[in-house]
Amino acid sequence: MSNKIIQYLKDKKYHTASDRTYAHIDEWLEWYQGEVEKFHKYKVFNGTSTTTHNRYTLGMAKKVCEDWANLLLNEKVSIKAGKYEARLDEILSANNFRVRGNQLIEIAYALGTGAFVEYKNGNDIIIDYMRADMIYPLSWDNGDITECVFGTVRTMDGKETIYLQFHRWGIAADGENPREYYIENRYVDAESGDELEIPEDVQYIVSTGYSKPLFQIITPNIYNNIDLDSPLGISVYANSIDQLKGCDLVYDSYMNEYVLGRKRILVPITMAKMQMQKDGQTNPVFDPNDTVYYQMPNDRDSDLKLTEVDMSIRATEHEQGIQRCLDILSLKCGMGTGRYQFNSSGVKTATEVISDKSDLYQNRQKNALIVRAAIINMIRAVSFLDTGAEVEATVNFDDSIIEDTNTTIDKNIKLVQAGLCSKKAAIMEINKCSEKEAEKELKRIAEDGQITGQDIDWTGGDEEEKKDEPADDEEDEE
């Protein structure tokens, strides 16, 4: 599909990113899917014939991307948008954002680029989740994509077509506002690449009335060293292909140890002769299809007894080799060493709390910058489409990988009891909320204390701050 879209854009005199990065996307996709034709299929010559074998694989490319998605956009990520939050939750829920957003991060880290795309369908706000081979930049400034085409495959009148959605600045010569974005819809034949008539219920050009793009690009926060001038990102394992091969080579050897090291019993030729049955049928003494018993060649001594062949399996050496390969791969993909542990249950992800000085934490914080900005801009776009005005939002990521939640609670309780921290500050840290929300929570705690007869100082030692602050009702009016 990508070749057809790129060719169509070239024919229409559009300039897009070079083919160099798109060529690598196909390779990254093969590793993500777990089967690379030129690597996982190999031939072996046994002296008389050649046989094709499939290499065993650990599938670590997908595992790495899954982990990055879980580190960046999991169920504990908090999105706050003030009074608009309830409506925002409805829109995000209708678009299955918690699930599809996590999946978008995963595929974006696999293929190098992903995007949120927003538009309005009647009264519904739609969020599309685009992967790299659906994204074709038209213009970019300092690495930020400002105009872009998004392509998807659709069936129209029983025929496969490519739907292209152009997000571009207005063209003054055509009477459009050059400071606002327009969405242009086109359909292309998937086989010939010729442009088709758009359906009657689809507008050719839609004015958004918005001065910002209705799309947000997500990439791993690493530089594209394949094409330095491309606005597209690269896969998180783009520079770790050799390490992925190493993991699969050692694992393949490990599995073949068990295949080749199966117990075998050599049977002398005299014991492998046919025996006449009562019904006149002749049958071998042992089953020739049994993979345990093997007939000795004719030149062997006929008086040999059954001989057991039981090869030792180098399990320990292979497990150490796989662990070393996993450590190097994890380091190259930004997760530091020790992220993955290979044991009797397979590859496990280490779950211990990590240090804020570790490679994983620092890279996670670096990558969170791009994801946070994309989500905030997505919320602004969604609120504009919904209400005609932007709202400000905050995104708080899950820090439980750095410090256990129970540890955070215990620490703040001890600080409050020692008089070294206010209750307000403790609630703000524990609940990841604003000062205003913490005050409301303290007020609710105080009210519950009055009902039960408990004496609770809800101000948390901040009485003087409370005197200077407006009442809760006044804040709501503002």
Q: Express each pLDDT in 312-334 by its tens digit.
A: 777 788 888 999 999 999 999 99
CB atoms < 10 A from the CB of 120, how many?
16
Question: Mind listing the pLDDT tens digit for each residue in 416-425?
Answer: 888 888 888 8
Question: Which range has the worst mean pLDDT, 7-21, 53-67, 338-352?
Answer: 338-352
State the pTM of this model: 0.77
Among 424, 456, 422, residue whose Cα is nearest residue 438: 424
pLDDT of residue 279: 57
Taking 80 as the threshold, does the pLDDT of residue 462 lie above it? no
Which of 129-138, 187-196, 405-414, 443-452 reaches the highest mean pLDDT?
Answer: 129-138
pLDDT of residue 363: 92
pLDDT of residue 434: 74
Using left for φ > 0, alpha for ψ between -120 and 50, and beta otherwise, residue 166 falls in beta
- Report how far residue 460's alpha carbon sits from residue 477's, in angstroms, rounded to the nearest whole number: 25
Strand partners, 393: none
CB atoms < 10 A from the CB of 432, how many?
18
pLDDT of residue 444: 85
| 3-state secondary structure labels for all residues of 58-72 | CCHHHHHHHHHHHHH
pLDDT of residue 317: 84
Tokens of 160: 């496969």
- Report how far residue 126's alpha carbon sits from residue 385's, in angstroms, rounded to the nearest whole number: 10
Contacts 24+ apart (CB under 8 A), 315-318: 315/254, 315/257, 318/250, 318/253, 318/254, 318/257
Question: Mind listing the pLDDT tens digit for each residue in 186-199?
Answer: 999 888 888 888 88
Residues 114, 104 contacting (CB under 8 angstroms): yes
CB atoms < 10 A from the CB of 387, how many?
11
* Coil, strand or helix at 240: coil
The vertex-225 CA angle with 223 and 228, nearest 5°, equals: 85
Question: Which range has the worst mean pLDDT, 10-14, 43-47, 225-229?
Answer: 43-47
Which residues in 311-377 belong to E strands, given as ranges?
340-343, 346-349
Query: How far, in Å, are 133, 216, 334, 347 from residue 240 at the CA level?
Result: 21, 27, 11, 18
Tokens of 45: 């010559």
Which of 37-46, 265-274, 285-294 reaches the highest mean pLDDT?
Answer: 37-46
Question: Mind listing the pLDDT tens digit for each residue in 397-408?
Answer: 877 666 666 777
Among 144, 201, 210, 157, residue whose Cα is nearest residue 183: 210
pLDDT of residue 448: 77
Distance of CA 53 to the CA centre of its chain: 30
Question: Mind listing the pLDDT tens digit for each residue in 269-292?
Answer: 555 555 545 555 555 555 555 555
Residues 22, 133 contacting (CB under 8 angstroms): yes
Question: Mind listing the pLDDT tens digit for each residue in 371-385?
Answer: 999 999 999 999 999
pLDDT of residue 459: 46
Strand partners, 45: 50
Taking 60 as the threshold, does the pLDDT of residue 455 lie above it? no
pLDDT of residue 86: 94
* Cα four-point dihedral sign 261, 267, 268, 272: negative
For 323, residues 6+ apart whose C-beta sits below 8 A from its C-beta are: 341, 342
Among 34, 88, 37, residue whose Cα is nearest residue 62: 34
Mean pLDDT throughout 9-16?
89
- Report how far residue 376's alpha carbon sits from residue 371's, in angstroms, rounded to the nearest whole number: 9
Tokens of 428: 């703000």
Mean pLDDT throughout 130-156?
93
Instruction: For the chain, give the mean pLDDT.
Output: 82
pLDDT of residue 282: 55
Tokens of 96: 């299955």
Question: Mind listing the pLDDT tens digit for each residue in 153-191?
Answer: 888 878 889 999 999 999 999 999 999 999 999 999 888
